[in-house]
Amino acid sequence: MTFATGDRVRAKSVDPSHHTRLPAYARGVVGTVVRFQGTHRLPDDVIRGISSPEEMVYAVRFAAQDLFGTGDHSVTLSMWQSYLERP
């Protein structure tokens, strides 16, 4: 399952004990894919020495209102495929 520009996606609501590049402030929040950012290895696996193929990474734009409950700006983050699910 991959995503396309314009798709609505949710950052997974997880709290792993290992290193991750999924910032806590975005977890569980729905945003929109705005750009494809290539394929890269999942840092969560790299740090644990787990061998896994490269994954798609997407720029996902979130409304500040959805992230923080306030603000009229947006925040765009890079999200590995594994960090995302259909809302």
Which spans of this chain sit near another protein (rule: CB under 8 A)?
Answer: 21-23, 25, 35, 37-38, 40, 43, 57, 59, 61, 64, 67-68, 70-80
Query: Least separation, in Å, of the C-beta of 59 and another protein?
Result: 7
Burial class (CB in 10 A: 0-12, 13-18, 19+), 7: middle
Query: Least separation, in Å, of the C-beta of 18 and another protein?
Result: 14
Q: In this complex, which beta carbon is closest to another protein, that of residue 8 or of residue 54? A: 54
Rounded to whole angstroms, the Cα distance separating 67 from 30 reads 9
The SS3 assignment for 25 reads helix
